[in-house]
Amino acid sequence: MKVYSKLVKARNILAHKALKKSGHNKFAGYQYFELGDFLPEIQAIFGEVGLVDVITFTNDLATMVIYDTEDGSSVTFTSPMGSAQLKGCHEVQNIGAVETYQRRYLYVTAMAIVEHDALDATTGGVAPEPKKAAPAPKPTGAPDPNKVL
Protein backbone atom coordinates (compact mmCIF):
# COMPACT_ATOMS: atom_id res chain seq x y z
CA MET A 1 0.00 0.00 0.00
CA LYS A 2 1.50 3.26 -1.12
CA VAL A 3 -0.49 5.27 1.44
CA TYR A 4 1.93 4.28 4.20
CA SER A 5 5.06 5.35 2.30
CA LYS A 6 3.37 8.64 1.38
CA LEU A 7 2.26 9.19 4.99
CA VAL A 8 5.83 8.66 6.22
CA LYS A 9 7.06 11.15 3.62
CA ALA A 10 4.38 13.67 4.66
CA ARG A 11 5.30 13.25 8.34
CA ASN A 12 8.98 13.82 7.58
CA ILE A 13 8.27 16.96 5.57
CA LEU A 14 6.05 18.32 8.37
CA ALA A 15 8.65 17.48 11.04
CA HIS A 16 11.10 19.84 9.32
CA LYS A 17 8.67 22.78 9.25
CA ALA A 18 9.03 25.50 11.86
CA LEU A 19 5.53 25.23 13.33
CA LYS A 20 4.61 27.76 15.99
CA LYS A 21 2.11 27.10 18.78
CA SER A 22 -0.48 29.87 19.02
CA GLY A 23 -2.74 28.31 21.65
CA HIS A 24 -2.16 29.12 25.31
CA ASN A 25 -3.68 27.34 28.30
CA LYS A 26 -3.70 30.02 30.98
CA PHE A 27 -4.81 27.62 33.72
CA ALA A 28 -1.97 25.12 33.31
CA GLY A 29 0.48 27.57 31.73
CA TYR A 30 1.52 25.87 28.51
CA GLN A 31 1.40 26.51 24.75
CA TYR A 32 -0.32 24.13 22.31
CA PHE A 33 -0.99 23.76 18.60
CA GLU A 34 -4.28 25.00 17.23
CA LEU A 35 -5.59 23.64 13.91
CA GLY A 36 -4.52 26.79 12.09
CA ASP A 37 -0.93 26.27 13.26
CA PHE A 38 -0.44 23.12 11.20
CA LEU A 39 -3.44 22.43 8.95
CA PRO A 40 -2.38 24.70 6.03
CA GLU A 41 1.05 23.01 6.03
CA ILE A 42 -0.49 19.54 6.14
CA GLN A 43 -2.88 20.29 3.29
CA ALA A 44 -0.02 21.61 1.15
CA ILE A 45 2.10 18.54 1.96
CA PHE A 46 -0.79 16.17 1.21
CA GLY A 47 -1.27 17.86 -2.16
CA GLU A 48 2.45 17.52 -2.87
CA VAL A 49 2.72 13.81 -2.01
CA GLY A 50 -0.71 12.71 -3.23
CA LEU A 51 -2.78 12.19 -0.07
CA VAL A 52 -6.24 13.40 0.92
CA ASP A 53 -7.97 13.14 4.28
CA VAL A 54 -11.67 12.67 5.04
CA ILE A 55 -12.95 13.22 8.58
CA THR A 56 -16.34 12.01 9.80
CA PHE A 57 -18.11 11.96 13.15
CA THR A 58 -20.69 9.72 14.77
CA ASN A 59 -22.06 9.98 18.31
CA ASP A 60 -19.32 7.59 19.45
CA LEU A 61 -16.35 8.01 17.13
CA ALA A 62 -14.30 10.59 15.23
CA THR A 63 -12.66 9.03 12.18
CA MET A 64 -9.99 10.25 9.77
CA VAL A 65 -9.29 8.21 6.65
CA ILE A 66 -6.21 9.22 4.67
CA TYR A 67 -6.34 8.09 1.05
CA ASP A 68 -3.59 7.75 -1.54
CA THR A 69 -4.94 9.78 -4.48
CA GLU A 70 -3.24 7.47 -7.01
CA ASP A 71 -4.09 3.93 -5.92
CA GLY A 72 -6.92 4.53 -3.41
CA SER A 73 -5.21 2.71 -0.56
CA SER A 74 -6.04 4.15 2.85
CA VAL A 75 -5.20 4.24 6.52
CA THR A 76 -7.75 5.02 9.26
CA PHE A 77 -7.33 6.87 12.56
CA THR A 78 -10.11 6.99 15.17
CA SER A 79 -10.80 8.63 18.50
CA PRO A 80 -13.74 8.23 20.89
CA MET A 81 -16.05 11.24 20.90
CA GLY A 82 -16.27 13.45 23.93
CA SER A 83 -18.57 16.28 24.88
CA ALA A 84 -18.34 19.96 25.77
CA GLN A 85 -20.44 22.22 27.97
CA LEU A 86 -19.15 25.67 27.16
CA LYS A 87 -20.76 28.41 29.21
CA GLY A 88 -23.24 30.59 27.36
CA CYS A 89 -23.20 28.47 24.19
CA HIS A 90 -25.90 26.75 22.20
CA GLU A 91 -25.82 22.98 21.72
CA VAL A 92 -24.57 23.31 18.15
CA GLN A 93 -21.64 25.46 19.39
CA ASN A 94 -20.71 22.72 21.86
CA ILE A 95 -20.86 20.15 19.04
CA GLY A 96 -18.62 22.39 16.94
CA ALA A 97 -16.13 22.71 19.78
CA VAL A 98 -15.96 18.93 20.17
CA GLU A 99 -15.52 18.41 16.43
CA THR A 100 -12.75 21.02 16.29
CA TYR A 101 -10.89 19.34 19.16
CA GLN A 102 -11.39 15.91 17.58
CA ARG A 103 -10.02 17.12 14.22
CA ARG A 104 -6.99 18.55 15.99
CA TYR A 105 -6.30 15.32 17.87
CA LEU A 106 -6.77 13.20 14.74
CA TYR A 107 -4.19 15.31 12.86
CA VAL A 108 -1.79 15.22 15.81
CA THR A 109 -2.05 11.43 15.80
CA ALA A 110 -1.98 10.88 12.04
CA MET A 111 0.93 13.25 11.44
CA ALA A 112 2.86 12.31 14.62
CA ILE A 113 2.90 15.92 15.75
CA VAL A 114 4.80 16.30 18.99
CA GLU A 115 2.51 18.12 21.39
CA HIS A 116 2.80 19.13 25.03
CA ASP A 117 1.24 16.57 27.36
CA ALA A 118 -1.46 18.61 29.06
CA LEU A 119 -1.90 15.95 31.72
CA ASP A 120 1.66 16.44 32.92
CA ALA A 121 0.94 20.10 33.48
CA THR A 122 -2.18 19.56 35.55
CA THR A 123 -1.90 16.14 37.20
CA GLY A 124 0.52 13.62 38.55
CA GLY A 125 1.97 15.73 41.32
CA VAL A 126 1.83 14.59 44.89
CA ALA A 127 -0.70 16.56 46.87
CA PRO A 128 0.87 18.24 49.88
CA GLU A 129 -0.02 16.65 53.19
CA PRO A 130 -2.24 18.82 55.37
CA LYS A 131 -0.35 20.52 58.17
CA LYS A 132 -0.96 19.07 61.58
CA ALA A 133 -2.56 21.48 63.98
CA ALA A 134 -0.22 22.72 66.68
CA PRO A 135 -1.29 21.75 70.18
CA ALA A 136 -3.30 24.43 71.89
CA PRO A 137 -1.20 26.46 74.31
CA LYS A 138 -1.84 25.80 77.95
CA PRO A 139 -3.03 28.70 79.99
CA THR A 140 -0.29 30.17 82.11
CA GLY A 141 -0.66 29.83 85.83
CA ALA A 142 -3.07 26.88 85.57
CA PRO A 143 -1.94 23.53 86.97
CA ASP A 144 -0.94 20.86 84.38
CA PRO A 145 -3.47 18.01 84.73
CA ASN A 146 -0.92 15.52 83.41
CA LYS A 147 1.76 16.42 85.92
CA VAL A 148 2.24 13.94 88.73
CA LEU A 149 2.46 15.59 92.09
pLDDT tens digits along 49-74: 999 999 999 999 999 999 999 999 99
Q: Which residues contact 148 (CB under 8 A, 6 or more apart)?
A: none
Exposure string for 36-46, b = 16+ CB within 10 A, e = fewer: ebbeebbeebb
Mean pLDDT by groups of 10 residues along the chain of 149 residues: 94 93 85 90 97 96 97 96 75 81 92 70 49 56 56
DSSP annotation of 133? P
**Global pTM?**
0.72
H/E element, 56: strand 51-57
